[in-house]
A and B are shown apart, each in its own frame.
Chain A
Amino acid sequence: DAGVTQSPTHLIKTRGQHVTLRCSPISGHKSVSWYQQVLGQGPQFIFQYYEKEERGRGNFPDRFSARQFPNYSSELNVNALLLGDSALYLCASSWRRSTDTQYFGPGTRLTVL
């Protein structure tokens, strides 16, 4: 079975622009979570979606939004990009909404100039 996939792998944007990142979970997994990892730090939780509904949100501004589609894939949107949004964005999937092993995708590296 394929693992978690993410696209694109790399992205360069300028301040003020908008970006959309995509994630496809492992087949059969219904939960998708998004994490942001800035250089030198561990990943930080942004969102969790389960059965197409937002089930959790981390301490991120409203410029960050996400959604989950009927096939359980997900998009993360970031508006009005700031330099500080430059990071590796990781998607994780799991079968259950609650405590479960999470599997991560390869990430999207976003650079904001």
Chain B
Amino acid sequence: GIQVEQSPPDLILQEGANSTLRCNFSDSVNNLQWFHQNPWGQLINLFYIPSGTKQNGRLSATTVATERYSLLYISSSQTTDSGVYFCAVERDGNNRLAFGKGNQVVVIP
């Protein structure tokens, strides 16, 4: 199956700092989503971004499908940004998401 690798696995940020999370995938994809998992386990949709660039407030994402990677940018980080960020892809048009292992982000005041 398709492989999804996320880096860095762990990141500690000072509040107000910027960061970039990376997702590499091993094959062409139909769908790519970024999620934020809160401490209670809920996966919150951040972006549906199989290609191109999107922005939502302090977060933005870019997917370069031809080079098989996606980036999630967090600007002016806040303590509420702490949690695990997951990249998930789907390649066969079957709506099955394959997840990476996540980026654990801790934002300290």
B95 x A41 contact (CB < 8 A):
no
With A88-B41, A106-B41 known as contacts, the answer to whether A58 contacts B96 (CB < 8 A) is yes
Interface size class of B (residues with CB under 8 A): 20 to 34
Q: A45-B97, A94-B95 are in contact. List 14 more A-B contacts (CB 8 A).
A: A33-B95, A42-B86, A42-B88, A43-B43, A43-B99, A55-B94, A56-B94, A56-B96, A99-B30, A99-B31, A101-B33, A104-B42, A106-B40, A107-B42
CB-defined contacts of A100 to chain B, threshold 8 Å? 31, 95
- Complex: how many Å from CA A57 to CA B88? 17
B45 at the interface (CB under 8 A from A): yes
A-B contact count (CB 8 A): 68
Q: Which residue of B lies closest to A46 (CB)?
A: B96
A103 x B95 contact (CB < 8 A):
no
Residue ranges of B at the interface with A (Cβ–Cβ < 8 Å): 4, 30-31, 33, 35, 40-43, 45, 48, 86, 88, 90, 93-102
A102 at the interface (CB under 8 A from B): yes
4 closest cross-chain pairs (CB), A and B: A42-B99, A104-B43, A99-B30, A101-B48
A67 at the interface (CB under 8 A from B): no
> A108 CB to closest chain B CB, in angstroms?
9
- Complex: how many Å from CA A41 to CA B41? 12
